Structure 1
């Protein structure tokens, strides 16, 4: 059997190797940017500790995949049933059999609910990586267990849904994830997010892309239930502890970023004068909301950079792009994709309008960005009922960008979260300790 393999430009620096050990970790992520990024970044931490990592990508994504950064991680392509390359038609089970003698550890994305089980069948130790927050994971778990009944109902006059665990009792009906709040809208997605807990206890470790200080009470509660570790925020080292050489980006992108155009345009703008608008690779606004968002961006005093995927461009108001103009002095720039971390860390960017996908949220927290929430993936995937007006969008952004008491409070909170995120992954931090403990456990099991 053969497989397609590719190495992401290995770094010149060799990781410190453990004597007499050849630990090989297979990492398989759901092929969506918000899942690939954190798992790839965590994989870099493992290679820095001396472990060998192979990152598996479905062959169907190869045409759109961009290798954009240096890394010592080997990438291999496997079949997911949606490719036409005969030589590469290896299923995950066949691939694991192929590597049976050399692979000792499997790290699977939570959304691939059968992978840890398949890994265990092949004599490997399995770990499940959750790219979402602990609170969302806990909600899905409680729904799967039947503790939370669907459709959701309040258990008291205050609109609360849960009484136990106590830390979750503050949640009301409107605080729950969209796929749970509206069970009939996306039943397939609901099955997927709940299905992750059908055999998660078979995994030896549960790894979460968050940090203890961010969700402390819930992390403590979950730690008493399972063998879980927080290992985030998983963003490139240059934006946090700067301990991994050449780690300036994630390394893989499913879309080609217009990096040069973005940075050239941002360089022409004053500090903290620009709002960055992006709803990730999946979220889709309705045409009414696109119209209102366009109106709000026109009305606000700030400059803006808006990521509109090619598949979404047809929803833009007529002549919107022409109205912006072509030179770097224009008020706004619309691109199909960006190198988000470079944009968020640019001195001219002062606010991030996002759908609050977890990876983007952690990036904003880690970079002290002020966040304006606009789109929720589930409820607004085809937005029809709730439309935020252009005037409201303008008002919210101006509140953040122009200061005042509310803006000052937001900036102070942002600085606090940034410092907390950096401490978590720095020497002696909670996530740093957990990553080292995970590596030590793997070494102990595989000797």
Structure 2
């Protein structure tokens, strides 16, 4: 008979909703599991159902039934969903941790998405460490920090981190989070709740690595115990130390994997423009027309991800007119695409996961941020890391086809940009390799938990 599996200790991971939040936390969970930890990921029911096959090394438990009680699109909008999730989820998470107390492996640490700050109080109730996990960049969180103190009407405890030339964040159109009161919008106030009681968290974790955000980590370390544990990209693409770790395991849309990869296999090395704006961002019809025209005018091939909800915005007859050099699909396996030798650049909204993936694969970026932290990430891509270019908007806040085309050409043909992209790819792999900075941070966290 096969012997009973033993673990070093048990970690509970609380995930937020949304692909961009779930995937990095599950990847971190896989990494912990590969190092001998028992890991339980708690999340909404729809998420745990979708993730059951993501990893046999990680346990998935539902703490909120969004199919019955209501998800993001249910009555009352986003604000009501968050309130329901906190009320029901906090109670069920407490019961789940309590249930483990009489098991062989009681929970020794709670890692929670920083968007769910109420989880820290639960950790304290059980006298276990709580670790806040941010799914945005260190720099983006640093940019929100002064707003948090403005909302509190308190002075900053230290000067703000300097990012000269960073534009103010664009605010997305989200379901109601309440009435606008004061200087900051409801979405900014909601984001700043991530800082609630954060000084009492044992660790502040980021899907980043030390060399990528060196200066901001130094600044942030004056506030909290910061540990970068990324990039949280499936192991096969980095160090290959986590067995059978090829994919994140969660997609909001079904990817057209076979058609996509077969098409890429017919293209020359570095010849394809990959365009994707992620699961949440979208272009308006005018900007879609400019993007379409830029791709049509380009001499390069292109792979354009246009979500099912965006298909109606495509220019008339665009797919038929560009079929010889382009492929338009509703979703794709982004990791496999970025790893493919045919891809020469990534036209991206610069969500943090997409940005980290581009860095990890050494793919230069044409940065077209749409809202919030994407503005900061695009700033880093162009002005700090030098791995891409951000096209300029005109007086109508639109980026023209000519400007997009100029930037694509510069990124596809720019020797210096490509050189820097390859350098950062090497540093990303180095960070998560054995004895790399992120790997050392993970081992340190595990050692502390085991010692409890």
TM-score greater than 0.5 by the shorter chain: yes
User: Would you say 1:425 and 2:432 are equivalent positions?
Assistant: yes
Identify the match of residue 15 of structure 2 among 2, 6, 29.
29
Match of residue 118 from structure 2: 114
Match of residue 346 from structure 2: 352
Identify the match of residue 228 of structure 1 among 210, 226, 229.
226
Match of residue 319 from structure 2: 321
| Mapped contact 2:40–2:59 kept (Cα < 8 A) | yes
Cα gap change, 1:173/1:272 in structure 2, threshold over 3 Å: closer, same or farther? Answer: closer
Cα gap change, 1:114/1:148 in structure 2, threshold over 3 Å: closer, same or farther? Answer: closer
> CA shift at 1:98, angstroms?
3.2
| Mapped contact 2:19–2:252 kept (Cα < 8 A) | yes
* Equivalent position SS for 1:99: helix
Deviations 1:376-417 (A, max 9, x none): 234999x9941111111112112222x2xxx00101111111
Identify the match of residue 412 of structure 1 among 406, 419, 437.
419
* Equivalent position SS for 2:131: strand
Match of residue 305 from structure 1: 303
Identify the match of residue 54 of structure 1 among 35, 40, 48.
40
Give the whole-Å Cα distance in 1 for the aligned partners of 2:36 and 2:157. 44
Match of residue 213 from structure 1: 211
| Mapped contact 2:30–2:58 kept (Cα < 8 A) | yes
Cα gap change, 1:410/1:71 in structure 2, threshold over 3 Å: closer, same or farther? Answer: farther
> CA shift at 1:61, angstroms?
4.5
> CA shift at 1:68, angstroms?
6.6
Aligned pairs for 1:253-272 within 5 A: 253-272=251-270
> CA shift at 1:217, angstroms?
1.9
> CA shift at 1:305, angstroms?
0.8
Match of residue 388 from structure 1: 399
Give the whole-Å Cα distance in 2 for the aligned partners of 1:418 and 1:331. 28
Aligned length, in residue pairs: 404
Cα gap change, 1:61/1:241 in structure 2, threshold over 3 Å: closer, same or farther? Answer: closer
Deviations 1:63-91 (A, max 9, x none): 7x366754411222231555359xx9963
Match of residue 187 from structure 2: 189
Identify the match of residue 244 of structure 2 among 220, 243, 246.
246
Give the whole-Å Cα distance in 2 for the aligned partners of 1:346 and 1:173. 32
Give the whole-Å Cα distance in 2 for the aligned partners of 1:186 and 1:146. 9
Give the whole-Å Cα distance in 2 for the aligned partners of 1:321 and 1:149. 53
Give the whole-Å Cα distance in 1 for the aligned partners of 2:58 and 2:282. 32
Identify the match of residue 444 of structure 2 among 427, 437, 447.
437
Match of residue 99 from structure 1: 97
Match of residue 38 from structure 1: 24
> CA shift at 1:341, angstroms?
0.4
Give the whole-Å Cα distance in 2 for the aligned partners of 1:147 and 1:74. 38
Give the whole-Å Cα distance in 2 for the aligned partners of 1:356 and 1:43. 24
Cα gap change, 1:307/1:42 in structure 2, threshold over 3 Å: closer, same or farther? Answer: same
> CA shift at 1:179, angstroms?
4.4
Match of residue 172 from structure 1: 165
Match of residue 410 from structure 2: 399
Give the whole-Å Cα distance in 1 for the aligned partners of 2:296 and 2:310. 19
| Mapped contact 1:117–1:202 kept (Cα < 8 A) | no
Where in structure 2 are there 5+ consecutive unaligned residues? 71-84, 173-179, 376-393
Give the whole-Å Cα distance in 2 for the aligned partners of 1:164 and 1:14. 54
Q: TM-score, normalised by structure 2?
A: 0.81
Cα gap change, 1:218/1:378 in structure 2, threshold over 3 Å: closer, same or farther? Answer: closer
Give the whole-Å Cα distance in 2 for the aligned partners of 1:408 and 1:149. 48
| Mapped contact 1:68–1:252 kept (Cα < 8 A) | no
Greater CA deviation, 252-261 or 291-300? 252-261
| Mapped contact 2:151–2:184 kept (Cα < 8 A) | no
Give the whole-Å Cα distance in 2 for the aligned partners of 1:234 and 1:14. 31
* Equivalent position SS for 1:196: helix
Give the whole-Å Cα distance in 2 for the aligned partners of 1:185 and 1:308. 35
> CA shift at 1:57, angstroms?
2.7
**Backbone CA RMSD of aligned residues:** 3.3
Give the whole-Å Cα distance in 2 for the aligned partners of 1:195 and 1:271. 45
> CA shift at 1:104, angstroms?
2.6
> CA shift at 1:273, angstroms?
0.8
